Amino acid sequence: MLKNVSLTVEGRGMTAIIGPSGTGKSTLIRCINRLVDPTSGEILFLGQDIAKLNGRELRRIRRRIGMVFQEYNLVERLSVIENVLTGRLGYVAVWRAWLRRFDPKDVDRAFQLLDAVGLGALANQRADQLSGGQRQRVGIARALMQDPDLILADEPTSSLDPKTSVEIMELISKRAGERDIPVIVNIHNVALAKRYADRIVGMSKGEVVFDGPPRELEDSHLLEIYGGEGWLE
């Protein structure tokens, strides 16, 4: 599916990957935190090749990478605050998770993050009682809870209405920016990509066909990426 993709992402800022469905955007993102395994090649993260790591070392890397999912992927039966605290699981012992006895500083930080995403009042609600936009905010808080060096977002707005999509992209952009965390986002809404990304990577048929700042993204590039005719305004 992915052919000879070579990308370097550095420093703060949002990189948006755009392209038609099935072209491998999601696969690319999921390779980074090894939810999908690459068949060959290297993934250098913080100077270390993580393509072949397993077990505890892989988990140590994963906890440095936060992820926001298209379907939010919250644990529905748990409360909002518990879902945010899930972000600390890579750092705490199992018994703390089982008894829900997290370090008070972690709990406080979780509350602060909930405030930062605008959900301070909903900490004790069960996750399945929230709207889509609210759930995604919790997802963002969970990713931030990991204090990550990188945030991956796999189509974070595809299940949301247009207004909420903008709010979510705004939130990701701001919060990650405040903390100097680079974001790699996989998105099919080109307008949102142009609005929030510092760099756009266009993929088509498993290969990178465009790589540059949003202002350089022309209609010709879009046609090359998405193919077809007559769909551009």
Residues of the shown chain interacting with other proteins in the complex, contacts defined by CB under 8 A? 33, 35, 56, 59-67, 69, 71, 73-78, 81-82, 86-92, 94, 97-98, 100, 104-105, 107-108, 110-111, 123-124, 139, 142, 146
Smallest distance from the beta carbon of 207 to other proteins, in angstroms? 26
Give the 3-state secondary structure of residue 201.
strand
Q: What angle do CA 48, 54, 55 make, to 5 degrees?
A: 120
Smallest distance from the beta carbon of 148 to other proteins, in angstroms? 9
Q: Which is nearer to other proteins, 61 or 200 (CB)?
A: 61
Helix residue ranges per DSSP H, 117-161: 132-145
Smallest distance from the beta carbon of 87 to other proteins, in angstroms? 6
Cβ atoms of 142 and 100 within 8 Å: the answer is no
Smallest distance from the beta carbon of 176 to other proteins, in angstroms? 17
- Cα(122)–Cα(105) distance, rounded to whole angstroms? 19
Q: Which is nearer to other proteins, 18 or 144 (CB)?
A: 144
Q: Which is nearer to other proteins, 37 or 224 (CB)?
A: 37
Output the CA–CA distances (angstroms, integers) from residue 66 to 88, 95, 176, 202, in the order listed.
Answer: 11, 23, 11, 23
Classify strands 150-154 and 65-68 as parallel, antiparallel or unpaired: parallel
Q: Which is nearer to other proteins, 152 or 192 (CB)?
A: 152
